[in-house]
Structure formats: structure tokens, C-alpha cells
Structure 1
Amino acid sequence: MSVYILRFFFDPGSGICLWAANDAARDKWDYPIDTRDLPLPENTWRFAYHLCSWFDTSIDWTYPPDPSPWDAAERDRFNNAAQQFLETLRGQLGTDFDVVDESATSAAA
């Protein structure tokens, strides 16, 4: 059984893509989780910041309810990168962590 359960999703403008989903994770990291605080290589946590910044470009910040400025190809590139990151993240965190994908970036989403 995993000790820490994390939710993976993007929240525009937050710079965060991991959120505590159980008491053990909240007690250790609070609700939003800075990837630098996890037992991850620097390149992994830096890529998390890159993904969050990239996701922010999917929003029309002059009027956020408007459609995304991304075309289908950009959305697919982002979704593929997010899923590859999630796979890497799960592998590097190991069995003490369960990372639940709520990102809507998978092909099934």
C-alpha cells in the first residue's frame, strides 16, 4: 500500500501540478506540493515547472473563458509530454507513492 497519494493535474497560474490526496502527504507537504521537495532528480522537478509554464500558455489570459490559443497539434504535444512526465515521476518516486492522474492529458481523457 502506498504511503503518499498525490493528485496530478494542472491549475492555471499556480506553478503546481501535484497535490496531496491523503493525510500522510498533506502532513508532510501541505496541499500543493512543490516538486523540489520530493525525492526527485533536479531535471525531473525542473521539467515539472516547465510543464506548468507551458500549460499556462494554453490560456487566453486577456479573457480566460475564451477558447485556448493552442491548436490541436500543440495540445497533443503537451499531452504527450505530460504523460511521459507522469510515467517518469511514478518510476522515480517508487512504491511509497501513488500518483493519480487527474490531468485530462491521457488519450482516454
Structure 2
Amino acid sequence: MPAKDAQTQTEGFSAEERAAMKKRAAELRAEGKKGAKKADGLQAVLDAIAGMAPEDRALAERVHVTVTATAPELTPKTWYGMPAYANADGKVVVFFQDSGKFKYRYSTLGFQEDA
């Protein structure tokens, strides 16, 4: 049998993926603090949208307006550094991933199964 080269397997997470995981860990720490408020989540979403490229920002702003107008019971928050909206249980049901996040060609509007 030929020996398998260990280098041909995956090399682990990319820099973008590691950065997203660090953002998620910071989000979880912030949620765990007493006194975390909806306003903090809304500001985090607005900051995430402001940091996007202009074409992605325009889409994200429209998604934000649409989701907040259509489903005001959803709470804005960030999820892996992306704008997201959670239900009353705190579970993300819809999120917006800009194309620059993981160097994708298109932006993504995603729904979790809790939706």
C-alpha cells in the first residue's frame, strides 16, 4: 500500500474562519454579561453593516429594514460577526452574510431551521 501524505489533507481553518470564530466567542462573552440589552445588539448589527463594502452594505441595509419592519419580535444581534436576527429564545433565525466575509462571489441571506 502506498503511504498517505499527511500534507494532502486539510490545513485547518482559514484566517477568515478563525476571525469569525473569535468574533463569535466575543459575542457569546458579551451575551453572558448581566445587563446586556437589545440596544447593544442593534448597535452591533449597525456597526457590522457599516463595515461592509458599499454594494453589500446597500443589500444589508435593505434586509435590516425589511426584517425589522416585517418581524419586529426578532431581536437584532451579530452572529459570527454577521448581522442576524434572533427569536425570543435567543436563537438566530435569519442572517445576512456579505460576499467579503469569506471571499464569496455573492452575498447570502440565510435562515436557520429554528425559523
Bin of the TM-score, shorter chain as denominator length = 0.3 to 0.5
Whose RCO is larger (CA < 8 A, sep 6+)? 1
TM-score (norm 1): 0.35
TM-score (norm 2): 0.33
